[in-house]
Amino acid sequence: MKYRPIPNSLYIKNRQKFTAQMIPGSLAVFNSNDIYPVSADSTLPFAQHSDILYLSGADQEETILLLFPDALNPAHKEILFVRETNEHIAVWEGAKYTKEKATEISGIQTIMWLSDFDKVFFDLMTEAHTIYFNTNEHYRQAVETQTREDRFIAKCKAQFPAHQWQKSQPILQEIRGVKEPEEIAQMQTACNITEKGIRRLLGFIKPGVWEYEIEAELLHEFVRNRSKGFAYTPIIASGPNANVLHYIENNQQCQAGDLILMDVAAEYANYRSDLTRTFPVSGRFTERQAAVYNAVLRVKNAATKLLVPGTLWAEYHQAVGEIMTEELLGLGLLDPADVKNQDPHKPAYKKYFMHGTSHHIGLDTHDYGALKTPMKAGMVFTVEPGIYIPEEGMGIRLEDNVVIQEQGEPLNLMAHIPIEIAEIEALMNGEG
């Protein structure tokens, strides 16, 4: 791995938080992701399942974590099963975890080879009456592929029909939503790497540059700072492309006078950052562009102040909508009649700002976290309002990542990334 080791104290704490909510006499199993085939002998790069990462730090394929707090043998309270390596594997694929290395990473003392799982699992299931399955219940999930976890669940239900089943997801949604200091430190590093990429671009963007050239500049800067690369598929949308919310072709040339919207960010140690900035291709905003830009910035700043402990998700988005409505009225994009006659289920501002303002972020870009209960300190959210005006060939979005604090305004992990017009123009024109 490119990233520096994370203290295993984080994973010990995370497991303690999970097992504290398990019912007596139960065990839980977490599987690593598959390596997915593309065609012929090609595969996608391995990406670990965020749940087993969160609970163990094990960043290797064919890994299984078993948690059994009430195991009769204390050595079986937590077991990490890893793939047994050999000289052939080491030559062709590189070093895999030894048992000692797996303990060092995870803090788990009992490490077993994956080949022993079925036998050990059967034995422990005779002691347990309930198993926690790690089903995917994320509110954005749309998985069509059968995963390693899915196969395990199907096999387990057939093999142990008399056992009771519970879901890991409610516990994970609760505990993963509130980040530990060690996690916030990794996210800050990801944000700092993202900042380096953005500052690199400020002297690079100009008329005639291609969107994919900007993508290449970012990737270079991210990887040279120990990131695997982009935290998600990059959006580099110049001119009217910015009005396509998930524009990822990045194959157009930047034109003088246009704006370029970039939703791009680095990962670090599997933790994500998520940034959007909108810059003028020619280095200066027009008067109209600046007016819309500053309106978006004011909405972002006002929305950020609402992210405090106790805030309810639905009420937050309603409040941001009201703030955005006032800005759109000021820009002449809405008139009072539009607002007076609006459908409450589809408010007028949605014509120009059609997506949500915030989502949890962490090991996943759209991370786990409670959405129906009051927000808590330690939760990390994006704040990303935008105004999209196809008829003017303009789309502007601004996005930062913030940590809810016990008192006061959230901590902005991206506070040092240029966002004010004066600083952006100065840096783009070599005046900063």
Can you state the angle between helices 287-305 and 421-428, rounded to 10 degrees? 130
Catalytic pick among 195, 263, 327, 425: 263
User: Is 343 among the catalytic positions?
Assistant: no
User: Which residue intervals of 203-353 are DSSP H helices?
Assistant: 211-223, 287-305, 313-330, 336-340
The Cα–Cα gap between 221 and 10 comes to 28
The Cα–Cα gap between 177 and 174 comes to 6
pLDDT of 230 reads 98
Q: Chunked in runs of 10, what are the mean pLDDT values of the chain (432 residues)?
A: 93 98 98 92 92 97 97 98 82 82 97 97 98 90 88 97 97 97 98 98 97 98 98 98 96 98 98 98 98 98 98 96 98 94 92 96 95 96 98 97 96 98 97 74
pLDDT of 388 reads 98
Q: What amino acid occupies position 289?
A: Q
* Buried/exposed code over 160-170 (b: 16+ C-beta within 10 A; e: otherwise): beeeeeeebbe
pLDDT of 432 reads 63
pLDDT of 95 reads 79
* Strands 42-43 and 37-39, bridge-based pairing: antiparallel
User: Is 138 among the catalytic positions?
Assistant: no
Architecture field, domain 9-176: 3-Layer(aba) Sandwich (3.40)
User: Is 399 among the catalytic positions?
Assistant: yes
User: Is 41 among the catalytic positions?
Assistant: yes
pLDDT of 357 reads 97
Can you state the angle between helices 181-202 and 9-19, rounded to 10 degrees? 120
pLDDT of 369 reads 93
User: Is 420 among the catalytic positions?
Assistant: no
Residue ranges of the chain that CATH labels 3.90.230.10: 181-428
- What's the fold here for domain 181-428? Creatine Amidinohydrolase (3.90.230)
Query: What's the order of all strands across the beta sheet hosting 411-412?
Result: 380-383, 400-403, 411-412
Percentage helix, strand, coil, to 5, in the chain?
40, 20, 45
The Cα–Cα gap between 26 and 130 comes to 5
∠ CA 303-305-310, rounded to 5°: 100
Catalytic pick among 274, 327, 364, 425: 274
Give strand ranges (E) for 94-176.
Answer: 110-113, 130-133, 164-167
Query: pTM of the full predicted structure?
Result: 0.96
pLDDT of 88 reads 72
Residue ranges of the chain that CATH labels 3.40.350.10: 9-176
Q: How many CB atoms lie within 10 A of CB 238?
A: 26
